Amino acid sequence: MSERKPLLEVDNVTLRFGGVVALDKVDFTLYEGEILGLIGPNGAGKTTCFNAMTGVYMPTDGAIRFRGQQISGKKRHKITKMGIARTFQNIRLFPEMTALENVQVGADAHNRGSVPSAMLRLPRFWQEERRGIKRAEELLEFVGIKGRTHELARNLPYGDQRRLEIARALATDPTLLCLDEPAAGFNPAEKVALLELIRKIRDSGVTVLLIEHDMRLVMGVTDRIVVLEFGKKIAEGTPAEVRDNPKVVAAYLGVPDAA
C-alpha cells in the first residue's frame, strides 16, 4: 500500500452535546480507493461521526478535511457537491416520489439550470433533464432495481429501498460514499448481494466508508477498520489486526470489572 492519497482526514474531532461527549478526539484518515469500516458497539458515536462529516453537526473541536479542504462549517448541500454522499440508518427516501425521481434529485445536485431555464424550457433544461434521467436509469440498473423505476419509493420492498438510497447517493457523483448500516434487517443472502454491490461501487472508483454491526460483513469487505467505543477510537488496522485486538474483543464481549 504505497503512495496512499488521503481523501478524508478526521483530525482530533471532539463533539459535545451539553455535557455529553459524543466524540472524543477521534482521529483517522480515509485513503482514496479503499473501503473503510467504522465499527463499535451501540452508542459508540459512529453515526455522530458520519453526521459530523456530512455537515449535520459541527465539531466542537478539531477539523475534518476532505481532499485537504476544511469541511466543518460548510453548508450541507455544498459538502454533497464537494463529493461526499451518504445513506441513512433509518431509510429516508422521498416516499411519494418514484424510484426514478428519487435518484433524479441526487443527480440534480450538479445541474446548474434553475428557475429561469425550467420556466422557459430553455435548451439547458432539456439537456440536463435528459442527462439526469439517463444517469438515474443507469444507477437503478447498477444497484439492481431497474424493474422498479416507476414505482413509488414507499411501495418498494425494504431491501430495494436500501438499494434505492445507495443509487440516490451515487447520483450526486461522490468520491466518498458513506453507508450507514446498509445491511440492517437483511437476510444472509441479501447481505452477500450487498457485499458484491459495495465492492462494485469501490471498483467504479468510489471510496467507501461503511458503518456496520455485522462483523462478518465488515471483515469480509473492508480493507481497514476503525473501532470506536464511547466516542473514542480504540483500535485501527486491517480486519485481522482488529479482530485480534484485545481492546476490541473486550468492547464487544465485555470484560470483568476487575480488569
Partner 1 sequence: MTDVQIKNGAPEPRGFTGKLNAMSKPGRWAAITALVALFYLMPLGWFADPPGFYNPLVTFSSDFGTVLFDAAIFVLLAIGLNVVVGFAGLLDLGYFGFFAVGAYAMALLTSPASKLITDYHWLDSPWPWLAALPVAIVITALTGVLLGWPTLRLRGDYLAIVTLGFAEMIRVIAVQSEWVLGGDRGISAIPHPPGEIGGEPIFGFVDPKPYYWLVLTVIIVVVFGVRNLARSRVGRAWVSIREDEDAAELMGVPTFKFKLWAFAIGATIGGLSGALWASKVNFMNSTTFSLENSILVLAAVILGGAGSIPGAILGGFLVAYVPEWLRGLGGFLGLDINTTEYRYLIFGLVLIVMMIFRPQGIWPNRRREAEIKDRQKEVAVGE
Beta-bridge partner residues of 38: 211, 226
Q: Which of 14, 32, 47, 125 binds partner 1 (CB under 8 A)?
A: 125
- Nearest residue to 175 via CA among 199, 198, 201: 201
For position 108 contacting partner 1 by CB under 8 A, the verdict is yes
| Spacing of C-alpha 157 from chain mean position | 21
Whole-number minimum distance, CB 127 to partner 1, in Å?
A: 12
Q: Which of 48, 72, 161, 172 binds partner 1 (CB under 8 A)?
A: 172
For position 92 contacting partner 1 by CB under 8 A, the verdict is yes
For position 255 contacting partner 1 by CB under 8 A, the verdict is no
Q: Do you know the residue count of the chain?
A: 259
Whole-number minimum distance, CB 3 to partner 1, in Å?
A: 31
Q: Which residues contact 26 (CB under 8 A, 6 or more apart)?
A: 10, 12, 13, 14, 45, 49, 62, 228, 231, 232, 233
For position 161 contacting partner 1 by CB under 8 A, the verdict is no
Q: Is the dihedral of CA 58, 111, 160, 144 positive or negative?
A: negative
Whole-number minimum distance, CB 28 to partner 1, in Å?
A: 22
Q: Could you tell me the three cell numbers for 217?
A: 460483513
Residue (131 or 200) nearer to partner 1, CB: 131
For position 123 contacting partner 1 by CB under 8 A, the verdict is no
Q: Which of 119, 189, 253, 258 binds partner 1 (CB under 8 A)?
A: 119
d(CA 84, CA 81): 7
d(CA 31, CA 6): 4
SS3 239: helix
Q: Which of 46, 162, 168, 191 binds partner 1 (CB under 8 A)?
A: 168
Question: For residue 45, is it left (φ>0), alpha (ψ between -120 and 50) or beta?
Answer: left
Whole-number minimum distance, CB 110 to partner 1, in Å?
A: 8
Stretch that binds partner 1, among 12-20, 110-118, 205-213, 223-231 (CB under 8 A): 110-118
Cβ distance 61 to 14 under 8 Å? yes
Residue 9 is given by DSSP the state E
Q: Could you tell me the three cell numbers for 91?
A: 431509510
Q: Which of 23, 140, 166, 169 binds partner 1 (CB under 8 A)?
A: 169
For position 109 contacting partner 1 by CB under 8 A, the verdict is yes
Instruction: List residues binding partner 1 (CB under 8 A).
Output: 54-56, 75-77, 80-81, 85-86, 88, 92-97, 101, 104-106, 108-111, 113-115, 118-121, 125, 128-129, 132, 148-152, 154-155, 168-169, 172
